């Protein structure tokens, strides 16, 4: 009897042991799987480093002549006189190329209309009142004093000046590239930048020749620029979420203007910092070269369908400043471009294109090497296009025309983008999932974004919410 009981006890103990073993094995496998998946997701979210520039560039790609940059052309009387065909090509009444008998859009008159819009504020029109324009003008004020007309691409202005006479004779004795990198990134943080990256100077992204519309004069890198740049430091500043949510109304223009003002402080500050350390440096905003291309090269984000940079966690709600310097780092110390899965998302999204009041954004399914919009074959119409780069080529002229009609710089393609979200945990969760999912899931996420009430444009309630945002929540 005792024998039987002992045997039974042993059987029970054995069974427990087996269960425990199973449970431990299950737990270890579970923890292993979660840790593996976690590190893979982290790797995707932080961006997968790319060996070269992540966008296909054809051998026939040509550097951009700044005289073909839309804002430079629009701001220049001389260029308007030199290229009368450009002012005859865009229809003033309909979208796209002007047909015979249609009135055409004049870029120089357009920019005047845009720049004087605040004088026509209408207190009966939500989002375009004296209050809205007062804020917009106040936000431009800093840039207008610190680096006037930098948003128009005028080089050598204020804090972005080219004068190198104050460069310290003695270079600071940095130990190595890591110490330099750390100093630059810490300085960027101090200037208020939300992201910073450093890449090699790449002539492909620089305008050539440069153009100063205030003097109606072309400038060259070789003869006029004060030194040969070796590296470019790229900094991002973010724009206010609530203000951008009012796009295309004027509070959205105000936060964009504030972005420009911050650019002049951050880019100008970084250039000054480097000159104090004994290196030549020039800060830059919309002048000198393509900020989006440099930001991609510095690993800060990806070029999106709406033509803007999309930075992880911030979306396209950023402004970019850059600093050209003769400081050089070891090859390994430069930031590398990264793939965050953003352009793949764009292929299935198109929300910005659907929301664009100027119908300026491409609705193509895939990026292409040149423009595909109506009139893109006609050089008199597509004078500002830049073929030879695989991206979504948009019709910037239609965008600009809307700005002039609107009296503010729109931003609907920023506000509507599913990547544009404030800093709350559930948005970071969705951002993370978007980096490794694909195809139909992306389409579904875009639809969910609409259903959940995000990305609305022309929303009068957003204006009301914006003007209360300083008086509620954590801010006060």
* Residue ranges that bind ligand SF4, judged by CB under 6 A: 248, 304-306, 345-346, 349-352, 356-358, 360-361, 399, 402, 410-413, 416-419
- Contact of 316 with 413, CB cutoff 8 Å: yes
Verify binding: residue 452, another protein, rule CB under 8 A.
yes
The answer to whether the beta carbons of residues 359 and 95 sit under 8 Å apart is yes
Q: CB 427 → another protein: shortest distance, Å?
A: 8
Q: State the binding partner of 474 from another protein, ligand SF4, none, CB within 5 to 8 A by kind.
A: another protein
Nearest distance, CB of residue 393 and ligand SF4, angstroms: 12
Q: How far is the CB of 286 from ligand SF4 (least distance, A)?
A: 14
Q: 173 or 473: whose CB is closer to another protein?
A: 473
Q: Is 52 in the site for another protein (CB under 8 A)?
A: no
> Under DSSP, is residue 85 helix (H, G, I), strand (E, B) or coil?
coil
Three-state SS for 210? Answer: strand
Question: Contact with another protein (CB under 8 A): which of 451, 471, 475, 476?
Answer: 451
Closest to another protein by CB, 18 or 99: 18
Alpha helices, DSSP H only, in 316-438?
A: 342-349, 351-355, 396-406, 412-415, 425-436
Query: Is position 169 an interface residue for another protein (rule: CB under 8 A)?
Result: no
Smallest distance, Å, CB 114 to another protein?
31
In 374-438, alpha helices (H): 396-406, 412-415, 425-436
CB of 314 to another protein, least distance (A): 15
Separation between Cα atoms, residue 250 and residue 472, nearest integer Å:
21
Pick left, alpha or beta for residue 315 (phi over 0 → left; psi -120 to 50 → alpha; otherwise beta).
left
Placement of tokens 């109606």 in the chain:
216
Considering only CA atoms, give the Rg of the chain: 26
Using rule CB under 8 A, residue 425 touches another protein:
yes
CA atoms within 13 A on the CB side of 241: 14
Candidates 141-149, 215-223, 322-330, 465-473 — which segment interacts with another protein by CB under 8 A? 465-473
For ligand SF4, the closer CB: 129 or 457: 457
**Residue closer to ligand SF4 (CB basis): 50 or 344:** 344
- 74 versus 232: smaller Cβ distance to ligand SF4: 74
Listed as own residue / partner, the contacts of 71-74 with beta carbons closer than 8 Å and 24 or more positions apart are 71/111, 71/151, 71/152, 71/153, 71/286, 71/400, 72/152, 72/153, 72/211, 72/213, 73/107, 73/383, 73/384, 74/107, 74/108, 74/110, 74/111, 74/400
> Scanning residues 242 to 261, which ones bind another protein (CB under 8 A)?
242
Choose the stretch contacting another protein; rule: CB under 8 A; options: 75-83, 143-151, 216-224, 466-474. 466-474
User: Toward another protein, which CB reaches closer, 178 or 448?
Assistant: 448
Give the one residue of 422, 438, 460, 470 binding another protein; rule: CB under 8 A.
422
**Is the previous residue joined to 209 through a cis bond, with omega within 30 degrees of 0?**
yes
Residues near another protein (CB under 8 A) are 242, 422, 424-426, 451-454, 465, 469, 473-474
């Amino acid at each position: 009897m005792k024998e039987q009981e002992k045997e039974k006890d042993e059987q029970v103990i054995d069974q427990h042991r087996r269960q425990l073993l199973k449970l431990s094995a299950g737990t270890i496998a579970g923890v292993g799987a979660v840790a593996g998946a976690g590190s893979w997701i982290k790797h995707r979210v932080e961006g997968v480093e790319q060996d070269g520039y992540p966008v296909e560039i054809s051998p026939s790609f040509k550097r951009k002549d700044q005289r073909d940059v839309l804002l430079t052309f629009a701001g220049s009387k001389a260029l308007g006189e030199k290229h009368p065909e450009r002012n005859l090509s865009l229809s003033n009444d309909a979208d796209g190329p002007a047909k015979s008998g249609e009135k055409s859009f004049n870029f120089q008159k357009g920019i005047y209309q845009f720049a004087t819009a605040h004088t026509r504020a209408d207190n009966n029109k939500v989002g375009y009142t004296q209050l809205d324009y007062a804020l917009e003008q106040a936000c431009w004020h800093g840039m207008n004093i610190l680096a006037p007309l930098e948003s128009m691409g005028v080089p050598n202005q204020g804090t972005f000046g080219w004068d190198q006479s104050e460069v310290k004779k003695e270079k600071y004795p940095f130990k190595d590239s890591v110490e330099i990198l750390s100093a630059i990134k810490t300085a960027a943080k101090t200037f208020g930048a939300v992201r910073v990256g450093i890449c090699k100077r790449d002539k492909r992204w620089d305008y050539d020749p440069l153009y100063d519309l205030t003097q109606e004069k072309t400038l060259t890198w070789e003869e006029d620029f004060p030194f040969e740049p070796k590296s470019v430091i790229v900094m991002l500043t973010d724009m206010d979420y609530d203000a951008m949510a009012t796009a295309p109304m004027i509070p959205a223009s105000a936060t964009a203007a504030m972005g420009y003002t911050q650019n002049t402080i951050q880019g100008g500050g970084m250039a000054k910092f480097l000159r104090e350390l004994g290196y030549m440096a020039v800060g830059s905003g919309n002048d000198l070269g393509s900020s989006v291309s440099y930001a991609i090269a510095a690993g800060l984000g990806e070029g999106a369908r709406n033509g803007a940079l999309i930075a992880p966690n911030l979306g396209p709600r950023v402004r970019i400043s850059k600093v050209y310097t003769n400081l050089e780092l070891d090859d390994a110390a430069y930031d590398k471009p990264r793939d965050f899965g953003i352009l793949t998302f764009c292929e299935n999204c198109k929300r910005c294109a659907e929301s664009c009041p100027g119908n300026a954004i491409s609705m193509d399914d895939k990026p292409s090497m040149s423009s595909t919009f109506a009139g893109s074959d006609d050089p008199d119409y597509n004078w500002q296009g830049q073929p030879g780069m695989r991206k979504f080529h948009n019709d910037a002229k239609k965008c600009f025309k809307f700005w002039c009609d609107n009296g503010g710089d729109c931003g609907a393609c920023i506000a509507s983008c599913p990547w544009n979200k404030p800093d709350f945990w559930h948005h970071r969760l969705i951002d993370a999932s978007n980096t490794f999912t694909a195809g139909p899931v992306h389409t579904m996420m875009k639809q969910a974004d609409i259903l959940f009430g995000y990305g609305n444009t022309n929303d009068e309630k957003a204006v009301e919410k914006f003007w209360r945002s300083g008086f509620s929540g954590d801010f006060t």
